[in-house]
Amino acid sequence: MVILAVMNSACSFVLDGELYNTLLGFEENLEKTGEETLTSTEANLKAYLKAVIDEVRQAKNKMTEATTDLEKVKEEWAAARDSIAEMKTKAKAVRAYKQNFPSTPEYSCLNVLFINAGEDRLTKD
């Protein structure tokens, strides 16, 4: 109807029936094609938006997993740091023990036993 209104205002003559029907059919086809194109475009946009949302969800899940993994690594690192501190304390105790006792075969044997057993107290019982 838009095309006919424009043509009627631009031309002052009356259209014959065949030309009118042709133009009317063209306009209806244009509207249908436009609606189909719009529907197709809308469907494509919805599919694209769904794909983007899925990618965002996957990225969020990966970030959550990475954060969880990072927390595990932090816990393991803290445990390792504590273990290293404990080993340093034991090493200091062994050094102090060696300095306080004479270097005889009997005490050397005890040093090895205490170190292998991982004893915190290095005393002769």
Which letter, b or e, does each residue of 60-79 get, where b requires 16 or more Cβ atoms within 10 Å of its Cβ? eeeeeeeeeeeeeeeeeeee
In angstroms, the CA 2 to CA 65 distance is 58
Residue 109 located in a structural domain? yes
Residue 2 located in a structural domain? no
Q: 103-123 pLDDT, tens per residue?
A: 555 555 555 555 555 554 444
pTM for this entry: 0.39
Q: How many independent structural domains does the chain possess?
A: 1
Residue 41 located in a structural domain? yes
Residue 59 located in a structural domain? yes
Q: 10-55 pLDDT, tens per residue?
A: 443 444 555 556 666 666 666 666 666 667 777 778 888 888 888 9
Range of the domain at 90: 16-117
